[in-house]
Structure 1
Amino acid sequence: MPSFVLGESIPPDTAHAVSVSLPTWKSNVGYEEGEDWVMNRLTTGYPRFFIHRSIQAFASELAEKYGSSGYKAMLFPTRQVAERCATFVRTRAPPDVSSSLSVMHLTLDTTDPTTKALELFCPAISAVLFSPEAFPFAKQYWQHTGDGVSSRRAEFCHDLYRAGILRLDLEPKSPAQKPCRGPRRYQRPSSVDVGKPSDNAVTNGGGGRDTQETSRFLEERFGRNLDVSFVEPAKSAIRRRIAGALRGNHELSKSPQPEIEPNTRGVVNLREEDVYLFPCGMNAIYNAHRALLGVRSSNLKSINFGFPYVDTLKILEKFGPGCVLFGHASESDLDELESRLEAGDRFLALFCEFPGNPLLTCPNLTRIRKLADTYDFAVVVDETIGTFANVNVLPFADVVVSSLTKIFSGDCNVMGGSAIFNPQGRYYNALKDFARREFEDTYWAEDVIFMERNSRDFASRIDRVNANAEAICDVLRSNPLIKSVFYPKFSESKENYEVCRLPEGGYGGLLSVIFHDRTHAMAFYDAIETAKGPSLGTNFTLTSPYVLLAHYQELEWAASFGVDPDLIRISVGLEDTEHIVGVFRSALKAAENGLLRN
């Protein structure tokens, strides 16, 4: 088992890693307190919370050149997204702060014939420039919506910008966008050390470019490594896997694929075109909410059913008229909701996770569906934790969202998200019309290629993860130090899970544990020889004091919903079962001895 030092990327030496090592309980507290001994060691972090160094470097360069003294910049993939961020800040920041905002757009210089091969990449960057006082508001938008630019896109476009190939675009463009395409392979080494100019960038003191040198630069830097013809097949393969119509380790082909095969989703007429890809899971949730506001009444509040993931709740609260929280996902919560509906309350949509995070509670989707049909609200189900290899929630939902960053990818080195529109749903036609008008494909081509490769063996990985998770649960449930183990197989809401469980499905790779004594929890966490950091659904076991990280400023509030502040969440990986069980037994032994690391 590798040893991860404080602040190291998880996986190690991975330029676009999704997690970061916080190996002790004390380091997690230090992270939440913003203490220098932790913050100064971080090489990366979860991308919606920690702005990648590649992005920071490009943003700083643009702010210095195009902004006033001391200004900052935040990068987005398109003009429309950047304008949404600017609108968000203007509606929340004081007038003297919001007045500092401006939006700029960099696009490919198509007047240069040497750039023709890059047009299918749609290499573009939009930036919101602002005074430092506006940064906290812009960062909220970045974190909540997942609309921020991909680190791979930023790195790619930064090199183009330094070479003089991206230029400031002063011409407003139509919101309609052609689908962006991208590379077949991304073979050059990546680096977060982006402070130095590219060795291959060709410019001269006057800002002009020598055509021959530029042509050579493009060939050496981009031409041989990239085949844009494979990006659309990669997107198609991802969508088909999500639809449950493509299973197994299939190589890509440029040849047109046949119509979608019978799927495991249990919904007739489901098409590949009903699956939409996004740069991360939270962006899928944000856009599902935005679409429902666009096709229904923008005055209706939404419902967050179950203990909320922090940014899902913030989206429902901040990007519309608000929401009502039913934080237990219990039958009594449904009783209360039904009473409100009978009394005349009406809602836009109900958002829930299946199972929920971190207590793995499963809402009663059968009853929720009946209420939605009777009282006319949409149902949006986040299946990230259950995964569509274990459960099928689409028949109960109008929209199913998922974070592909998690076990669908597994390798913890690329972000992604998806949303499925249920063709049997009441709002299907309206949602499809909205998507035709408003959907922008902002999923960067290089990220697509990584996601497609990583997900080829998704279905086979799930079986090992399911087995390992159950074995670890058995160890934890038999230990006297443990107060509670949360896992769908042992949950009071197991019956709700079984309604959606596929015939060959298991109970997933996520579980949570509470110790009787906090000291034992701390000693266990410090001793466990797994990767330790944010995120879940990795191919390796990843442990986190989840509530401490996600709700540090609201621990009492979380406790009011039965979520213990000392809860430890375990995302189980693909290790040999006997080995990983031994790792947990050793950590429990250390907890018995009260061994804490400094």
Structure 2
Amino acid sequence: MAPIDLGDSIPPNTAHAVSVSLPTWRANVGYEEGEQWVVGTMVTGYPRFFIHKAIQALSADILSKHGRPGQSAMLFPTRRTAQRCADFIRDKAEPSAVGDLSILRLVLDPAKEFAEPLRSLSPSICAVLFPQEIFPVAKQYWQHSGDGVSSRRAEFCHGLFRDGLLTLDDRSPSPRSWQQQKMRRGPKRYQRGASIDETKGSNGHTHGATNGRPSPPAEELADSLESSRFLEERYGRNLDVSLVENAKSAIRRRIAGVLTTDLDLASKSLPVMDSNARGVSNLQEHDIYLTPCGMNAIFVTHQALLKGRTPQKSINFGFPYVDTLKILQKFGPGAMFYGHGSSADLDDLEARLQAGEKFLALFCEFPGNPLLSCPDLARIRRLADTYDFAVVVDETVGNFVNVNVLPFADVVVSSLTKIFSGDCNVMGGSIILNPGGRYYGALKAAMADAYEETYWAEDVVFMERNSRDFVTRIDRINANAEVICSVLEAHDLVTKVYYPKYNDSRPNYEACRLPKGGYGGLLSCTLKTKAHAVAFYDALETAKGPSLGTNFTLTSPYVILAHYQELDWAASFGVDPNLLRISVGLEDDLGEIFARALRAAEAVQ
């Protein structure tokens, strides 16, 4: 891969890229330290940590029109998600600092005619407005929950907002305010006032809704048609809204493992779900929920468990991706943390359970990130059945082509942003409820309140397209990962390679590995000294930045990025601060690429 400049998007020239280039070790430290020579170059970043510039731009315009001096805004797709953010701010910020906190909802102006595709999208934005000084608290909610708007939704809605087509849902704009707006683009209809009483009749003409006014003159009808055409051309973006529901269905069926070939989305009927999908009986498409990102899948699952069961502490078993533990700690009664995820940890948990301690659920990853160790799901399942707690497994790293964890879990979550998409240009997540689980009925009912379908239509379309070759990509990535492992394992400077095939927990992986499954596309390694690790990373000719599961190889000094403020804490669980994490891609010459980087490390004295 050609070098990618510091701060450029990964992939380059991609408006909604999920990663950003941090090509040297020093750049990663500079990013964590907030140094301007790094952050000042960044055109984007990982979306839950770096608020996309399209979202920033819409926030600024909303504040300019509806905010007050000294306020910031955080944007969400619905009032419910915005309300959760506002509640979090009130709970976590100093009461004296909260000040004037409010929620604004912007919707399509009901006084105007809109083309059917635009109405079908139901574009809306909810802004939480709050004092600037508590932005860090609001940012915590944004990062942990994954509830925030996507960059594509923000970009789309920003166009509507600039053109005066989004308005506050609690009042109608006055004719005077519309006359004051300078509409530089679009049909002349938008340059004059309109009545909220006008509705569109079944014959396509406009009628007075309540006052029996006569039909409008021909000129006004012509304007209405002109408006509709204009909106369809300006905002349609070649997005066939009629295919979005089928695209969602295709994604869900791929997640279920029953759709492994291309699908004609225009077809009126989709293939029938297999009665034994994912190794459980009666898994239905409605048991699979799509979320705007993987962390939101975990957040929503936790919310559903709190609503569907008696709220209690949860268990985070194994060294976690950073925000999973934060969700359990900050959005409920708290968490018991077993950072090693070992047999000894299970012994301690079992002793606590035998002594009468109660828990809501156990959350774990399979395999874990970044040490790629695997919990003993069979034993965890037995404990859960005996002592009445739910099991939630994050299968993002293992992925369902390689492993099947659903028979051991009540809920399986995944980040579709990663290898399911592969192209690193769209976010997404999924939740699967096990229909055979003891909490299925309670969770199904709780999801009606905890879950909203907020996955933006454009993101759905990109995810469906990206995932069509998901299954065929996995075999090649599995093979490439083993090639890299063999190069690293053979070199004297490499002190440890972390990969499910080589870890002590391999038997736990094998218990879930499918007959044709491999060992995945993620691995980590440590070198003899920090200087060796720095030289190796700086010389490595791959993309270098946050995220994983890309179709191209992506490397990062993961612990620096994920745990910079808690390196000693991470080290206490065996996570070396200088560990390098490698997400393996589809390239042909990866063995030689890694061999060259190791030769550069050899030059370190």
Structure 1 residue 33 displacement after superposition = 0.3
Given that 1:244 and 1:263 are in contact with CA atoms closer than 8 Å, whether structure 2 keeps it comes out as no
Given that 2:313 and 2:335 are in contact with CA atoms closer than 8 Å, whether structure 1 keeps it comes out as yes
Aligned letter for 2:540? I
Q: 1:371 aligns with which of 383, 391, 416?
A: 383
Q: Which residue is equivalent to 1:355? A: 367
Aligned letter for 1:39? V
Matches within 5 A, 1:195-206: 200=185
Q: Which residue is equivalent to 2:327? A: 315
Q: Which residue is equivalent to 2:357? A: 345
Q: 2:569 aligns with which of 557, 565, 571?
A: 557
Name the CA distance, whole Å, in 2 between partners of 1:119 and 1:63. Answer: 25
Given that 2:493 and 2:528 are in contact with CA atoms closer than 8 Å, whether structure 1 keeps it comes out as yes
Given that 1:360 and 1:486 are in contact with CA atoms closer than 8 Å, whether structure 2 keeps it comes out as yes
Name the CA distance, whole Å, in 1 between partners of 2:385 and 2:507. Answer: 22
Change (3 A) 1:353 1:224: closer
Given that 1:245 and 1:262 are in contact with CA atoms closer than 8 Å, whether structure 2 keeps it comes out as no
Q: Which residue is equivalent to 1:27? A: 27
State whether structure 2 residue 432 is matched by structure 1 residue 420.
yes
Name the CA distance, whole Å, in 1 between partners of 2:237 and 2:373. Answer: 50
Q: Which residue is equivalent to 1:104? A: 104
Name the CA distance, whole Å, in 1 between partners of 2:186 and 2:94. Answer: 41
Name the CA distance, whole Å, in 1 between partners of 2:109 and 2:580. Answer: 51
- Superimposed CA distance per residue, residues 530-584 of structure 1 (whole angstroms, 9 cap, x where no aligned partner): 00000000000000000000000000000000000000000000011xx111100
Name the CA distance, whole Å, in 1 between partners of 2:102 and 2:453. Answer: 24
Secondary structure at 1:489 match in 2: coil
Aligned length: 568
State whether structure 2 residue 600 is matched by structure 1 residue 587.
no
Structure 1 residue 162 displacement after superposition = 1.2
Matches within 5 A, 1:265-344: 265-298=278-311, 300-344=312-356
Given that 1:67 and 1:129 are in contact with CA atoms closer than 8 Å, whether structure 2 keeps it comes out as yes
Change (3 A) 1:450 1:68: same
Q: Which residue is equivalent to 1:485? A: 497
Structure 1 residue 213 displacement after superposition = 6.0
Structure 1 residue 323 displacement after superposition = 0.2
Structure 1 residue 486 displacement after superposition = 0.2
Q: Which residue is equivalent to 1:254? A: 267
Secondary structure at 1:113 match in 2: coil
Structure 1 residue 258 displacement after superposition = 4.2
Given that 2:319 and 2:341 are in contact with CA atoms closer than 8 Å, whether structure 1 keeps it comes out as yes
Secondary structure at 2:114 match in 1: helix
Name the CA distance, whole Å, in 1 between partners of 2:409 and 2:231. Answer: 47
Name the CA distance, whole Å, in 1 between partners of 2:116 and 2:97. Answer: 40
Q: Which residue is equivalent to 2:257? A: 244
Q: Which residue is equivalent to 1:449? A: 461
Structure 1 residue 451 displacement after superposition = 0.2
The two structures, once aligned, show a CA RMSD in angstroms of 1.8
Given that 2:46 and 2:547 are in contact with CA atoms closer than 8 Å, whether structure 1 keeps it comes out as yes
Aligned letter for 2:265? L
Matches within 5 A, 1:559-574: 559-574=571-586
Given that 1:390 and 1:506 are in contact with CA atoms closer than 8 Å, whether structure 2 keeps it comes out as yes
Structure 1 residue 259 displacement after superposition = 2.8
Given that 2:277 and 2:283 are in contact with CA atoms closer than 8 Å, whether structure 1 keeps it comes out as no
State whether structure 2 residue 256 is matched by structure 1 residue 222.
no
Q: Which residue is equivalent to 1:396? A: 408
Q: Which residue is equivalent to 1:183? A: none
TM-score, scaled relative to structure 2: 0.91
Given that 1:476 and 1:485 are in contact with CA atoms closer than 8 Å, whether structure 2 keeps it comes out as yes
- Superimposed CA distance per residue, residues 387-411 of structure 1 (whole angstroms, 9 cap, x where no aligned partner): 0000000000000000000000000
Name the CA distance, whole Å, in 1 between partners of 2:131 and 2:262. Answer: 49
Given that 1:159 and 1:201 are in contact with CA atoms closer than 8 Å, whether structure 2 keeps it comes out as no
Change (3 A) 1:202 1:153: farther
Secondary structure at 1:552 match in 2: helix
Name the CA distance, whole Å, in 1 between partners of 2:192 and 2:328. Answer: 47
Name the CA distance, whole Å, in 1 between partners of 2:192 and 2:541. Answer: 53
Aligned letter for 1:289? H
Change (3 A) 1:557 1:202: farther
- Superimposed CA distance per residue, residues 326-371 of structure 1 (whole angstroms, 9 cap, x where no aligned partner): 0001000000000000011000000000000000000000000000
Name the CA distance, whole Å, in 2 between partners of 1:395 and 1:207. Answer: 61
- Superimposed CA distance per residue, residues 68-92 of structure 1 (whole angstroms, 9 cap, x where no aligned partner): 1121111000001001100000011
State whether structure 2 residue 550 is matched by structure 1 residue 538.
yes
Name the CA distance, whole Å, in 2 between partners of 1:228 and 1:303. Answer: 41
Aligned letter for 1:523? A
Given that 1:102 and 1:128 are in contact with CA atoms closer than 8 Å, whether structure 2 keeps it comes out as yes
Structure 1 residue 264 displacement after superposition = 4.8
Q: 2:536 aligns with which of 524, 541, 549?
A: 524
Aligned letter for 1:337? L
Q: Which residue is equivalent to 1:38? A: 38
State whether structure 2 residue 170 is matched by structure 1 residue 170.
yes
Moved more, 215-224 or 20-29: 215-224
Secondary structure at 1:127 match in 2: strand
Q: Which residue is equivalent to 1:190? A: none
Secondary structure at 2:105 match in 1: strand
Secondary structure at 1:265 match in 2: helix
Moved more, 106-115 or 88-97: 106-115
Secondary structure at 2:346 match in 1: helix
Change (3 A) 1:284 1:591: same
Q: Which residue is equivalent to 1:148? A: 148
Q: Which residue is equivalent to 1:18? A: 18
Q: Which residue is equivalent to 2:49? A: 49
Name the CA distance, whole Å, in 1 between partners of 2:286 and 2:20. Answer: 35
Moved more, 457-466 or 110-119: 110-119
Structure 1 residue 216 displacement after superposition = 4.4
Aligned letter for 1:254? S
Q: Which residue is equivalent to 2:176? A: none
Change (3 A) 1:96 1:472: same
Secondary structure at 2:581 match in 1: strand
Given that 1:341 and 1:375 are in contact with CA atoms closer than 8 Å, whether structure 2 keeps it comes out as yes
Bigger Rg, structure 1 or 2: 2
Moved more, 59-68 or 146-155: 59-68
TM-score, scaled relative to structure 1: 0.92
Given that 2:115 and 2:232 are in contact with CA atoms closer than 8 Å, whether structure 1 keeps it comes out as no
Change (3 A) 1:409 1:75: same
Matches within 5 A, 1:113-132: 113-132=113-132
Given that 2:89 and 2:138 are in contact with CA atoms closer than 8 Å, whether structure 1 keeps it comes out as yes
Secondary structure at 1:539 match in 2: coil
Secondary structure at 1:400 match in 2: strand
Change (3 A) 1:216 1:502: same
Structure 1 residue 65 displacement after superposition = 1.5
Name the CA distance, whole Å, in 2 between partners of 1:239 and 1:216. Answer: 33
Q: Which residue is equivalent to 1:174? A: none
State whether structure 2 residue 104 is matched by structure 1 residue 92.
no
Name the CA distance, whole Å, in 2 between partners of 1:117 and 1:454. Answer: 23
Name the CA distance, whole Å, in 1 between partners of 2:188 and 2:403. Answer: 55
Name the CA distance, whole Å, in 2 between partners of 1:580 and 1:20. Answer: 21
Structure 1 residue 206 displacement after superposition = 7.2
Structure 1 residue 255 displacement after superposition = 0.6
Secondary structure at 1:277 match in 2: strand
Structure 1 residue 249 displacement after superposition = 2.9
Moved more, 116-125 or 307-316: 116-125
Q: Which residue is equivalent to 1:136? A: 136
Change (3 A) 1:403 1:240: same
Q: Which residue is equivalent to 1:63? A: 63
Q: Which residue is equivalent to 2:206? A: none
**Percent identity at matched positions?**
65
